[in-house]
Chain A
Amino acid sequence: MSWKFCVGLLLGLAIGLGCRWLGIPVPAPPVLVGASLVVAMTSGYLLADHFIATRPAHHRHDCGGPSGDTKETRT
């Protein structure tokens, strides 16, 4: 865990405290379950990103380009 991330977490805590103290809306769900759902959405996004990165396209040469020609017809 880098020091910048620690500073970010402290800043997030301070923003949440300040929003409650000043009575202004917090830019995050005010309930811990809602914040956990945000983390779950990000985790799903990262899992799908990892899934896509480990499966390269094997049939890219069959796909048409802007003209509709495939690599097979161009060569």
Chain B
Amino acid sequence: MMQLMVGPVLALAIGAGCRLLDIPLPAPPKLQGALLVVAMTVGYLLGDHFLG
């Protein structure tokens, strides 16, 4: 439970730090791109549900 709370805060800090330090972000820099990553994960999990 604690890790689920620390994870998003750490991810926000990593994103903000990458922008402030002007270094490449290990994620799409646009929200639509990040949502496409979520869509791929959801598709993978749906396929896992149907096949498994």
Contact = CB atoms under 8 A, between A and B. Distances in A.
Whether A associates with B in a native complex is yes
Q: How large is the interface on B (under 10, 10 to 19, 20 to 34, 35 or more residues)?
A: 35 or more
**Dominant SS at the B interface?**
helix
**Dominant SS at the A interface?**
helix
Given A13-B46, A30-B44, A32-B45, A40 B8 contact: yes
A2 B4 CA distance: 32
Contacts of A21: 47, 51
Interface string A32-75: 11111111111111111101100000000000000000000000
Interface residues of A, number: 41
B44 A28 contact: yes
Interface of B: 4, 7-8, 11-20, 25-48, 51
